[in-house]
């Protein structure tokens, strides 16, 4: 294993990252000065033992193992237009995104991450909390920013020369809450992946923002869920509607907290490999094989995993139901299977979405 | 689960549970990536409890073995085999075959049980430490 040096060569931009100081060096002289500085030596000594083995200052720094010669070689070489273009995107003078859905720069390896930064895309300021952001907005003079729609975004800190700036990363962006969900008249329907996550999951605002369990506890078949997707059983509650386990399991709020977009969900859990077929290829979003292409499905390991899981779970459920039907109902109620909650007064205590 | 549910409703539950299991196995696999891969991919995933991560890994391992066996079996038996619920869809037949493998069923059953008791702590773990000094910066 290579020794830890605190340096990482970012070939895409033709620069050198220092994981210990969250900084990028683009010139040989700057790198030399940085490496000779006492602060870098002290930080490097603190991050490694005498044998230059990483003591683990943080997980992000484990890849910072570039040698001085490698770094010098990169900075000595003239940058290609692609490298220069990539590097320019991280210049502090570059116009920053003006909206959560606008183009963001990609995350840089080795730089520390702040996942809970509150950002105002109107005045382009970042704060560690909403309260702090509120204070800044109130105090900023001479012109106050009147925007109060702040977003929790991940940011990275980058020091360049004497300036420190925070930039929001491309991933885990919050979908725009003001984006229209209705296509214009005559326009083709948008891909579901472009919808806000809340609508993509079919959850109500309460499910996502108000923590779904509370909403499910309220009971009633019309409080959430999409029309036409309610079970016809008389005991149907919001938790036992379509989605069942997916509803009782807090996927919606977890994905929301992680700032996954609908597109991210599709990208991560798509059954079929991209560019394997026509599905979704028209709109440019993560395409895949046509669902009717049984040969493509039969050779896709992800689809086979799902098929096997579905078959296995079906057998398990049938077996469990067979045993359950043989039990006395009073025993079933005492088992408190799934969503049975004694505080429900509607007599539907045995109903629920759990197991 | 409502004991008054009919078989079609149970199939619906099974479909949802299979989706849950599938997503969990995928999440466990994605969470096992290195920091470099995660940054290159650009997305992070929630962390499952260690027991469920272990079980998800077992499910993934067993499905790989079982699918290979199933593919060989189906190719050997041809379309006229005993298990032909899926008709011309080989994936349904492979799914049925894998379902019969005890080594696959056991971790699936345990993982399903574990997921029903899973609790997420959505607080971010990376970069969670906040500086003592107030910081606010325009970008």
Residue spans per domain, chain A: 7-87, 96-168
- A302 or A270: which carries more pLDDT confidence? A302
What percent of chain A stands above pLDDT 70? 48
Q: Which residue of B has its CA nearest to A297?
A: B91
Instruction: Please tell me the distance in Å from B53's CA to the nearest CA on chain A.
Output: 16
Q: Tell me the torsion sign for CA atoms B20, A250, A198, A118.
A: negative
pLDDT band of residue A316 (cuts 50, 70, 90) is: confident
Asked if A60's CB is within 8 angstroms of B126's CB, the reply is: yes
Q: Is B118 on the interface with A (CB under 8 A)?
A: yes
pLDDT band at A102 (very low <50, low <70, confident <90, very high): low
User: CA distances (Å), A240 to each of A352, B8, B81, in order?
Assistant: 5, 14, 38
CA A346 to chain CA centroid, nearest Å? 39
Give the per-residue pLDDT at A304: 81
Q: From the CA of B120, how many Å to the nearest CA of chain A?
A: 8
Q: Find where tokens 């975004």 sit.
A: A153
Confidence bin at A147 (pLDDT 50/70/90)? confident
Q: Using an 8 Å CB-CB cutoff, list chain A residues near B30.
A: 268
- CB–CB contact A320 B1 (8 Å): yes
- Using the predicted structure, report yes or no on whether residue A70 has a pLDDT greater than 70: yes
**SS3 (DSSP) at A117:** strand
Quickly state the pLDDT bin for A224 (edges 50, 70, 90): very low
Residue A163 clears pLDDT 50, i.e. is over it: yes
Whether pLDDT at A286 is above 70: no
Cβ–Cβ gap B14/A314 under 8 Å: yes
| pLDDT value for A5 | 82
Q: In this complex, do A294 and B90 lie within 8 Å of one another by their Cβ atoms?
A: yes
Mean pLDDT of A127-156: 75
Q: Which residue has the tokens 């606010």?
A: B136
Q: ipTM value of the model? A: 0.74
Distances (CA, A) of A248 to A151, A212, A229, A256: 26, 8, 16, 15
At residue A8 the predicted structure's pLDDT band, cuts being 50, 70 and 90, is: confident
Residue B102: its chain A contacts at CB < 8 A?
none
Residue A102: which residues within 8 A CB-CB, separation 6 or more? A121
- Residues in A touching B112 (Cβ below 8 Å): 313, 316, 355
- pLDDT above 60: residue A302: yes
Distance, in Å, from the CA atom of A292 to the CA atom of A286, rounded to the nearest integer, reads 17
Residue B133's pLDDT is 32
Nearest Cβ partner of A258 from B11, B44, B128?
B44
Token pair recorded at residue A91: 């210049």
Q: Which residues of A touch B22 (CB under 8 A)?
A: 269, 302, 305-306, 309
Q: Is the dihedral of CA A82, A88, A94, A99 positive or negative?
A: positive
Report how far apart, in Å, the C-alpha atoms of A3 and of each of A50, A63, A66, A143 are: 11, 10, 9, 51
Higher-confidence residue of B15 and A213: namely B15
Provide the chain B residues 12-51 that lie in CB contact (below 8 A) with chain A.
12-23, 25-26, 30, 35-36, 39, 41-46
**Ramachandran region of residue A259, left (φ > 0), alpha (ψ -120 to 50) or beta?**
left
| Residues of chain A with C-beta less than 8 angstroms from the C-beta of B35 | 59-60, 62-63, 109
What's the pLDDT score for residue B71? Answer: 76
Does A338 have pLDDT greater than 60? no
Flag if A62 and B35 touch (Cβ within 8 Å): yes
Contact B1 A235 (CB under 8 A): no
How remote is the C-alpha of A301 from its chain's centroid? 24
pLDDT at A282: 34
Answer whether B99 sits within 8 Å of A308, measured CB to CB.
yes
**DSSP β-bridge partners for residue A24:** A17
CA-based nearest distance A142→chain B, Å:
15
B2 with A352: Cβ contact below 8 A: yes
pLDDT at A204 over 60: no
Cβ neighbours of B135 in A, within 8 Å: 127-128
Does B3 contact A235 at a Cβ distance shorter than 8 Å? no
pLDDT over threshold 70, residue A13? yes
**Does the beta-carbon distance from B21 to A115 stay under 8 Å?**
no
Measure CB to CB from residue A166 to each of B63, B126, B139 and give the nearest one. B139
CA distance A21 to chain B (A): 15
Give B128 to chain A, closest Cα distance, Å.
7
What are A224's two structure tokens? 């959430």
Query: Chain A within 8 Å of B56 (Cβ-Cβ)?
Result: no
What mean pLDDT is reported for chain A? Answer: 64
- Please list the pLDDT of chain B residue by residue as tens digits (139 residues): 455 556 666 777 788 788 888 888 888 888 887 766 766 665 667 777 778 888 888 888 888 888 878 777 777 776 544 444 545 667 777 777 777 667 778 888 888 888 877 655 444 444 334 333 333 343 4
């Amino acid at each position: 294993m290579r020794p830890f040096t605190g340096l990482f060569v970012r070939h895409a931009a033709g620069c050198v990252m220092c994981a210990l100081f969250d900084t990028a060096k683009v010139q040989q002289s700057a790198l030399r000065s940085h490496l000779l500085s006492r602060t870098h030596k002290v930080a490097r000594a603190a991050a490694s033992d005498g044998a230059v083995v990483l003591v683990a200052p943080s997980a992000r720094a484990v890849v910072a193992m570039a040698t001085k010669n490698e770094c010098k070689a990169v900075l000595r070489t003239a940058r290609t237009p692609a490298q220069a273009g990539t590097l320019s995107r991280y210049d502090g003078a570059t116009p920053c995104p003006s909206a959560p859905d606008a183009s963001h720069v990609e995350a840089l390896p080795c730089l520390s991450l702040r996942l809970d930064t509150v950002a105002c895309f109107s005045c382009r300021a970042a704060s560690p909390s909403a309260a702090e952001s509120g204070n800044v907005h109130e105090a900023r003079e001479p012109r106050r920013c009147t925007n109060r729609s702040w977003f929790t975004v991940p940011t990275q800190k980058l020091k360049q020369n004497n300036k420190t700036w925070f930039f929001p990363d491309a991933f885990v962006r919050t979908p725009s809450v003001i984006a229209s969900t209705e296509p214009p008249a005559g326009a083709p329907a948008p891909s579901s992946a472009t919808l806000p996550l809340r609508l993509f999951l079919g959850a109500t605002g309460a499910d996502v923002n108000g923590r779904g369990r509370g909403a499910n506890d309220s009971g009633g078949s019309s409080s959430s869920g999409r029309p036409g997707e309610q079970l016809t059983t008389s005991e149907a509650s919001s938790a036992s509607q379509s989605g069942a386990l997916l509803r009782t399991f807090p996927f919606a709020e977890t994905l929301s907290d992680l700032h996954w977009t609908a597109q991210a969900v599709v990208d991560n859990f798509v059954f079929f490999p991209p560019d394997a077929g026509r599905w979704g290829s028209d709109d440019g979003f993560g395409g895949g094989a046509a669902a009717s292409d049984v040969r493509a499905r039969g050779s896709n390991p992800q689809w086979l995993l799902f098929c096997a899981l579905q078959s296995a779970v079906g057998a398990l459920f049938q077996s469990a139901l067979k045993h359950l039907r043989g039990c006395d109902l009073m025993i079933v109620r005492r088992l408190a299977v799934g969503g049975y909650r004694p505080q429900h007064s509607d007599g539907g205590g045995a109903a629920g979405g759990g197991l | 689960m409502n004991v008054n549910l009919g078989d079609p409703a149970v199939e619906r539950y099974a479909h949802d549970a299979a989706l849950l299991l599938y997503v969990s196995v995928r999440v466990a696999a994605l969470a096992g990536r290195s920091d470099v891969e995660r940054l290159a991919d650009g997305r992070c995933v929630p962390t499952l409890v260690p027991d469920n991560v272990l079980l998800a890994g077992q499910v993934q391992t067993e499905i790989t073995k079982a699918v290979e066996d199933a593919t060989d079996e189906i190719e050997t038996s041809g379309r006229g085999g005993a298990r032909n619920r899926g008709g011309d869809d080989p994936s349904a037949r492979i799914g049925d075959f894998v379902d019969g493998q005890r080594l696959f069923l056991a971790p699936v059953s345990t993982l399903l049980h574990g997921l029903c008791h899973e609790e997420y702590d959505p607080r971010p773990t990376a970069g969670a430490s906040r500086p003592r000094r107030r910081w606010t910066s325009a970008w």
